[in-house]
């Protein structure tokens, strides 16, 4: 008989259909490109947390093919509990066909405490100040407590372990400071009383041979975004490759669902609705197969630029466990930039770039110095969605005070190439209601294969992949490392070349 795990139980609590699909039709899920990176981050954090209470025994047992041997893990857990082990990691329990593994099970005077480890971050006291944030974890921990108690284990405490977002690394990693332990007793108590009936209902759904019926709704994104969203929307008549209310520019999720529930899906269905000016442009252009250009608006923006003109893009990583002195969990660490530039009107397009060494050292000082050397004082700089670049430069200026004057000069001269698009000056239907550079570029240059991110041959096609691969390079063998660095350079180069092409196209439209 199919049984529950922690993951299946929490999925059931969000949506019974999602749990059923996970078990019986997982192939209809939409791939999450960031999943592997999150999984690896979770493993790194989980491994570090095992040492939080001193000596421990980890009872993980793997079969030859790499999968977990749950039966052996349950047996090992029993042995360690009898032996008097204080701290058991991945402590495993099974009852009937239901199963759970406790990240850290710690002996207490009257029984055992459960510690669930998550790679998210929190501050001391968050569970008291903002308990709602931890509700989703309480569901998971309540299931663990229930299963342990069904197995005859007295549970004396229910805790969540997260990274401490206020920890600043100085020297060696201090894991006592790195982690924040939150007592979720009250939240877990509230959830605990629901577990027995939830498990009974979930088991009924699990034994069903037909897919449960469930319309999409608010629950699809709370507490987690559902991987079956595209599949379920498709069942309700929303086609991925056709314009619909679900790609209307800046329409709230609530309004999208309201339209869907009213049977209004296509742009034709909503053309007479009350829309924002950009939404109106989007709908009209799409239905009529036309583009919209506000020449005066675009010209105003372009007139505000000057030479020398620079096009700047950063790549960053966000290590969950801080790697460098003075950094916190998930702090953005800038390791790369690409810079296209034109020194005078009609001048040649030139390029320079920086990619930090893959030696495990903090790349920021060298990057800040290179940036100050590459961009002359008072130069006009374009970024795409400039709060990101400006934010990173402010951070660098705050750390390297000797460079702060130059860095803030760069900061103060950055303008945002996104402005003409988000101001509604230029729209073509292929943008599909998104003004990210990844949407704007192919929309403006549909036939230019060199300006297509998916044609990049290496393993980096977006910022997420760049963020994931850079810290891994230090551990790669030389040929793979060289290929990864080349892929980073090509990706970031395309980001600023894309900006140059978009700027040129804007200029064309105003002639």
Q: How far is the CB of 210 from ligand SF4 (least distance, A)?
A: 14
Q: Considering the rule CB under 6 A, would residue 214 count as an interface residue with ligand SF4? A: yes
Mention every residue, 6+ apart, whose C-beta is less than 8 A from residue 431.
282, 421, 439, 440, 443
Sign of CA dihedral 218, 219, 221, 225: negative
Shortest spacing between CB 15 and ligand SF4, in angstroms: 3
Residues between 232 and 251 that touch ligand SF4 (CB under 6 A): 232
Asked if 256 touches ligand SF4 (CB under 6 A), the answer is: no
Q: Could you tell me which residues are beta bridge partners of residue 311?
A: 340, 382
Q: At what angle do helices 364-374 and 404-412 cross, to 10 degrees?
A: 60
Nearer to ligand SF4, 62 or 255 (CB): 255
Least CB distance to ligand SF4 at residue 146 (A): 23
Query: Residue 89 or residue 260: which is nearer to ligand SF4 going by CB?
Result: 260
Q: Of these, 24, 42, 81, 229, which contacts ligand SF4 (CB under 6 A)?
A: 229
Cis peptide before 308 (omega within 30 of 0): yes
- The yes or no reply on residue 17 touching ligand SF4 (CB under 6 A) is yes
Q: What is the DSSP code string of 214-265?
A: ----GGGSSSS--TTHHHHHHHTT--TTS-BGGGSTT--HHHHHHHHHTT--
Please list the residues that pair with 380 across neighbouring strands: 309
Across 400-429, b (16+ Cβ under 10 Å) vs e yields beebbebbbbbbebbbbbbbbbebbbbbbb
Q: Which member of 4, 216, 397, 431 binds ligand SF4 (CB under 6 A)?
A: 216
CA distance 437 to 100: 43
Find the part of the chain contacting ligand SF4 (CB under 6 A) among 29-37, 63-71, 228-236, 478-486.
228-236
Return the range that interacts with ligand SF4 (CB under 6 A); candidates 41-49, 128-136, 185-193, 214-222.
214-222
Separation between Cα atoms, residue 267 and residue 460, nearest integer Å: 34
**CA torsion, points 454, 457, 463, 465, in degrees to nearest 10?**
110
CB of 246 to ligand SF4, least distance (A): 12
Stated length of the chain: 511
Site map 125..144 versus ligand SF4, x via CB under 6 A = --------------------
Single residue of 114, 148, 226, 414 touching ligand SF4 by CB under 6 A: 226
Exactly one of 4, 13, 15, 383 binds ligand SF4 (CB under 6 A); that residue is 15
Binding mask 20-49 for ligand SF4 (x = CB under 6 A): -x----------------------------
Instruction: Point out which span in 15-23, 60-68, 264-272, 462-470 binds ligand SF4 (CB under 6 A).
Output: 15-23
Contacting residues toward ligand SF4, per CB under 6 A: 15, 17-18, 21, 214, 216, 219-220, 226, 228-229, 232
């Amino acid at each position: 008989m199919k049984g529950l795990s922690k993951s299946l139980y929490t999925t059931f609590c969000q949506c019974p259909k999602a749990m059923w699909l996970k078990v019986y039709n997982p192939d209809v899920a939409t791939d999450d490109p960031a999943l592997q990176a999150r999984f690896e981050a979770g493993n790194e954090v989980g491994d570090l947390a095992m040492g939080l209470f001193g000596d421990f025994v980890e009872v993980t047992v793997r079969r030859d093919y790499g999968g977990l041997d749950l039966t052996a893990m349950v047996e090992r857990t029993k042995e360690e509990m009898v032996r008097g082990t204080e701290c058991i990691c991945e402590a495993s329990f099974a009852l009937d066909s239901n199963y759970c593994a406790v990240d850290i099970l710690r002996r207490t005077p009257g029984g055992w405490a459960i510690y669930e480890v998550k790679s998210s971050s929190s501050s001391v006291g968050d569970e008291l100040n903002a308990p709602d944030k931890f509700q989703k974890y309480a569901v998971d921990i309540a299931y663990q407590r229930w299963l342990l108690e069904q197995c005859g284990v007295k549970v004396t405490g229910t805790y969540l372990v997260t990274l401490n977002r206020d920890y600043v690394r100085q020297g060696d990693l201090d894991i006592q400071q790195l982690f924040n332990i939150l007592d979720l007793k009250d939240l877990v108590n509230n959830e605990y009383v629901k577990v027995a009936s939830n498990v009974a209902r979930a088991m009924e759904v699990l034994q069903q041979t037909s897919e449960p019926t469930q319309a999409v709704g608010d629950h699809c994104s709370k507490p987690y975004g559902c991987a079956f969203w595209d599949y379920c929307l498709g069942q309700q008549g929303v086609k991925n490759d056709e314009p619909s209310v679900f790609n209307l520019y800046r329409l709230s999720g609530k309004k999208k669902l309201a339209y869907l529930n009213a049977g209004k899906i296509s742009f034709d269905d909503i053309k007479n609705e009350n829309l924002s000016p950009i939404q109106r442009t989007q709908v009209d252009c799409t239905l009529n197969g036309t583009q919209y250009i506000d020449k005066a608006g675009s010209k105003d923006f372009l007139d505000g630029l000057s030479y020398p003109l620079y096009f700047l893009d950063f790549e960053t990583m966000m290590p969950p466990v801080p790697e460098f002195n003075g950094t916190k969990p998930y702090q953005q660490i800038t390791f790369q930039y690409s810079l296209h530039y034109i020194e005078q009107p009609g001048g040649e397009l030139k390029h320079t770039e920086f990619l930090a060494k893959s030696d495990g050292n903090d790349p920021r000082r060298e990057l800040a110095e290179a940036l100050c050397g590459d961009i002359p004082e008072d130069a006009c700089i374009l970024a795409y969605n400039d709060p990101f670049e400006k934010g990173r430069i402010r951070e660098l200026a705050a750390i390297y005070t000797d460079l702060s004057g130059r860095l803030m000069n760069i900061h103060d001269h950055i303008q945002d190439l996104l402005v003409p698009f988000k101001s509604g000056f230029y729209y073509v239907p292929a943008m599909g209601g998104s003004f990210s550079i990844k949407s704007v570029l192919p929309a403006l240059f549909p036939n230019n294969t060199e300006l297509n991110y998916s044609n990049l041959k290496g393993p980096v096609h977006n910022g997420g992949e760049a963020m994931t691969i850079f810290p891994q390079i230090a551990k790669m063998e030389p040929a793979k490392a060289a290929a990864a660095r080349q892929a980073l350079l090509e990706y970031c180069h395309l980001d600023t070349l894309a900006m140059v092409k978009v700027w040129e196209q804007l200029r064309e439209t105003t002639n």
